[in-house]
A and B are shown apart, each in its own frame.
Chain A
Amino acid sequence: MLNFLDNPVHFGIAVVVGLLAAATLIVFALTKAKPNQDFKELTNRIKSWWVMIAIFSIALLSSPIVSVIFFGLISFLALKEYVSVIPLRKADRRVLFWAYLTIPIQYILVATNQYGLFIVFIPVWVFFLLPFRLILTKQTEGFLKSVSAISWGLMVTVFAVSHTAMLMMFPATGGNAAGGSGLILFLVILNQGNDVAQYVWGKMLGKHKIVPDVSPNKTWEGFLGGVGTTMVMAVLFHSFLTPFSIPFALFVGAMLAVTGFIGDVTFSAMKRDLQIKDAGALIPGHGGILDRIDSLSLSAPLFFHTVRFFYY
C-alpha cells in the first residue's frame, strides 16, 4: 500500500478520493439531520462524482494510450451534445459528419506527439476546409451562422479538450517525477475543485451578484472564495504533481480559477442564448458532459501553453 502511494499520481488520486469521502459523509449527515429537506440533487451529484473519479482514475492510470482515447471520447460526447442543442440547417448534416472526423485525427496527433500539426490542424486546416465543405452544400442562407457555430464548437470541444490529453506528452523531469499525468491530474483537480469551491462559497456567503444577466447564481463571494481555495489547492498539490515553484503555483491557481469562471460564464451565455438550462442529461445531478467540462475546455489550452512556455 505504501509503495502504491509512492507514485505521486496515485497519491494525488488518493487525496481526491479522501476529499470526496469526506463530502459524502457531510452530505449523508445533512440528509439525516434535516430529513424534511430534499437533498436528491446533492446526493445525485456526489454519486456522479464517484463514478466520474473512478472512470478518470482508470483512464489516467492504465496507459497513455487509454488516457488519450478517454479524452477523445470526452470530445466526441461534448461535440455531440453541442451539435444537438445549437440551431443548424438540414444542409449542415453531412458537414457535421466531417466535423466529427476531426476527433480521431486530432487525437492521433496527440498520441503520436506531433505537436506541430496538433496545434494547427483545427485552427488552420479545418478552419480552411470546413467553410469549403459548407460551400459544397450550395446553400448560402445561414452560411455564416453555420460556419461560425461549427468552428467554435470544434475549438472548444475538440481543440481545447485535446490540450488536456497533450499534457500527457510532457516527460517526467528531475523536478517533476509525475510527468504529464501529474500535470493532467493537477489541472483537473484545480479546475473541478474551483467549480465546486465557487459553488459552495456562493451557497454559503453569496450576496453580491457578479454577472446577473448571464448567470444569476454567480456571486462575488463565490468567485473570490473559489480563487482563494484554488490557490490553496495549487500550493498543496504542486510539489508532487508539477515542477512548479510556490509563487508559480499560486499564479497558476489564480489563473485557473479566473479562466474557469470565464469558461463557465461563456457557456452560461450560450445556454441562455439557446434558452436551455443544461446541455444534456448524461451525468445525473450535473447535466450534460458540456456542463461539466465547460470551464475545463477553455482553461486547458491556457494552462498547457503557460506550462510549455515556462517549463518545457
Chain B
Amino acid sequence: MKHKFHNILRWAFYGVIVRPILLIILGFNARHMERLKPRGAHLIAANHNSHLDAMVLMSLFKLSDLPKVKVVAAKDYFCRTPLMTWFSVNVIGVIPIDRGGETENPIQPMMDALDQDCTVIIFPEGSRGDPEQQSPLKYGITKVLEAKPDIQITPVYMYGLGKALPRGEALLVPFVCEINIGEPVNWEGDRTKLIETLQNTFDALKSEMEVKPWQ
C-alpha cells in the first residue's frame, strides 16, 4: 500500500513536474533511444555534469517503468534532512551511497536494488567535476560487477546539462541537451578493461554528437 502511494507520487513528480519542465525549458536531442529499455537488473553508466543529470536520465524512461529505475547519488547531499531523505528515496528514486567511507560496504544498497530487478543509474566519475570536462572513471562500478558478473551496463553520454546548470550555479539557462545511448557492455572479469571499454564508448558516443563547448 505504502509502495503504491510512493509510486503514484513518483509518477506525478516526473510526469507532471520534471518531464514537462525539462522538455520545454531544455529539450533533448536523444539518439538510439531504442537501446534504453528496462530489462530487469541492469546498470546505466552515465557521465556527470549537473544536478539535472539524474532527473534527465529518469525522464527518458516510460512512466510505467519508473518504479523499477533507481539512481545512485551521494548520501551527504541528498539525505541532509529526514524530509529530504524521504523525498529523495521514495519520490526521486535515489539510492543514497555513503562516499565518506564510514559504512562498511557502501555499495550494498545498489546490490539490494539489483536483487529487486531494478535498473540502476550510476555515474562512474563519482563527482560532477568541471562542467563538460569528463573526469577519469572510478573503479567503484567494477566492485558491483565482481559480485554480480551477469549484469550488463548501458553507457549513456550527455552533453549540454553542464552548460544549463553547472556545479555551483543556481541559475538555470536553457540549452538543448544531447543524449546518446550506447550498446550494452558485458563484464569480462577485468577491471581495467571494463573501465577502458566504458571510456572508449563514451568517447565514441560523444563524437557522434555536434557539441559546442565554451570558447
Spell out A's residues near B (CB within 8 Å). 76-77, 80-81, 83-90, 93-94, 96-97, 100, 142, 145, 274-276, 280-282
Q: Is the CB of B29 within 8 A of A280?
A: yes
Residues from chain A with Cβ under 8 Å of B176 in the complex: 80-81, 84, 280
Q: Is the CB of A88 within 8 A of B215?
A: yes
* Residue B174 CB within 8 A of the other chain: yes
Q: Is the CB of B171 within 8 A of A97?
A: yes
Alpha-carbon gap, A299 to B175, bound state (A): 26
CB distance from B26 to the nearest CB of A (A): 8
User: Given the known A-B contacts A80-B174, A280-B29, are A85 and B215 also in contact in the complex, defined by CB atoms under 8 Å?
Assistant: no
Return the CB mask of B117-138 against A: 1 if under 8 Å, else 0: 0000000000000000000000
Q: Is the CB of B215 within 8 A of A100?
A: no
Alpha-carbon gap, A81 to B210, bound state (A): 12
* Residue B96 CB within 8 A of the other chain: no
**From DSSP, what is the main secondary structure of chain A's interface residues?**
helix
Spell out B's residues near A (CB within 8 Å). 27, 29, 160, 163, 169, 171, 173-176, 210, 212, 214-215
* Selected contact of B163 from candidates A76, A93, A97, A281, CB within 8 Å: A93
* Selected contact of A89 from candidates B171, B175, B214, CB within 8 Å: B214
CB distance from B10 to the nearest CB of A (A): 27
Residues from chain B with Cβ under 8 Å of A100 in the complex: 173-174
Given contact pairs A80-B27, A276-B210, a sample of 7 additional A-B residue pairs in the complex whose CB atoms are under 8 Å apart = A80-B175, A80-B176, A83-B175, A89-B214, A100-B173, A145-B215, A281-B29
Q: Is the CB of B212 within 8 A of A84?
A: yes
* Selected contact of A86 from candidates B27, B29, B169, B212, CB within 8 Å: B212
Alpha-carbon gap, A87 to B214, bound state (A): 7
Which of chain B's residues has its CB closest to A91's CB?
A: B214
Could you list 6 A-B pairs, sorted by A, with CB under 8 Å?
Answer: A88-B212, A96-B173, A97-B171, A280-B29, A281-B29, A282-B27
Q: Is the CB of A90 within 8 A of B174?
A: no
Residues from chain B with Cβ under 8 Å of A276 in the complex: 210
Residues from chain B with Cβ under 8 Å of A81 in the complex: 176
Which of chain B's residues has its CB closest to A80's CB?
A: B174
Alpha-carbon gap, A142 to B169, bound state (A): 23
